[in-house]
């Protein structure tokens, strides 16, 4: 059996939207580009044809990848979780003990992670250190940039 992939409702919807776009917009465009390139004659030296075939291979590969991920998705709605500890989907407010700076991260699936949106992957070192911890606990995170210590000051499921 394939391993389930945790993701939020928003993350699953983004993958579905991308899959729909690839199937209904990008795939037809590339098929048309291949047909147009074929009309130009000798395919052995046709750069347009080669580029279109490469694009088609990329699109088909991405479609298969998205279909696989969505088939194995375990969609979790953080709003339905009622816990006092950090788990998948939680939005955690932390205070960096060395600087006093406050940061807020949501723990999401690997495909949803986007540091610009303060969404960190469940497999990131900081997320792994936070899982199962409660408010007012202090956690030490071993990250590529060195060890950092954070206090959990808020846990929210929204």
Torsion, Cα 127 129 131 132, to 10 degrees, reads -170
Average pLDDT estimate for 15-29: 97
Angle between helices 47-72 and 27-38 (to 10 degrees): 160
> Lowest mean pLDDT: which of 6-10, 77-81, 108-112, 151-155?
77-81
Average pLDDT estimate for 105-114: 94
- Segments of the chain assigned to CATH 3.10.50.30: 78-156
Q: How do residues 124-142 score in pLDDT, each as one tens digit?
A: 999 999 999 999 999 999 8
Query: What pLDDT, on a 0 to 100 scale, did the predictor assign at position 144?
Result: 78
Could you tell me the pTM of the whole model?
A: 0.80
Domain spanning 78-156, CATH architecture: Roll (3.10)
For domain 5-75, give the CATH number: 1.10.287.180
Distance CA 139, CA 134 (A): 10
Query: What pLDDT, on a 0 to 100 scale, did the predictor assign at position 88?
Result: 94
Q: Is the pLDDT of residue 1 over 80?
A: no
Distance CA 109, CA 28 (A): 30
Q: Is the pLDDT of residue 20 over 90?
A: yes
Name, in order, each residue with C-beta under 8 angstroms of 31's C-beta and a sequence gap of 6 or more.
56
- Segments of the chain assigned to CATH 1.10.287.180: 5-75
Residues in the chain: 158
Select from 140, 108, 146, 138 the least CA-distant residue to 126. Answer: 140
Q: How do residues 29-78 score in pLDDT, each as one tens digit?
A: 999 999 988 887 766 677 888 899 999 999 999 999 999 999 999 999 88
Share of the chain above pLDDT 90, in %: 77
Query: What pLDDT, on a 0 to 100 scale, did the predictor assign at position 43?
Result: 66
Share of the chain above pLDDT 70, in %: 97
Contact 108, 122 (CB under 8 A): yes
């Amino acid at each position: 059996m394939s391993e389930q992939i945790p993701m939020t409702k928003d993350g699953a919807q983004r993958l579905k939207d991308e899959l729909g776009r690839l199937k209904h917009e990008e795939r037809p465009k590339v098929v048309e580009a291949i047909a147009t390139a074929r009309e130009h004659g000798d395919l052995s030296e046709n750069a347009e044809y080669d580029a279109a075939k490469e694009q088609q291979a990329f699109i088909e590969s991405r479609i298969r990848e998205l279909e696989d991920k969505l088939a194995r998705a375990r969609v979790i709605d953080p709003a339905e979780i009622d816990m006092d500890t950090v788990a998948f989907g939680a939005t955690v407010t932390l205070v960096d003990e060395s600087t006093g700076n406050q940061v807020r991260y949501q723990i999401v699936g690997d495909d949803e992670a986007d540091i610009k949106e303060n969404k960190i992957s469940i497999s990131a070192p900081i997320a792994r250190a936070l899982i199962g911890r409660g408010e007012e606990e202090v956690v030490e995170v071993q990250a590529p940039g060195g060890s950092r210590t954070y206090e959990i000051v808020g846990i929210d499921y929204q």
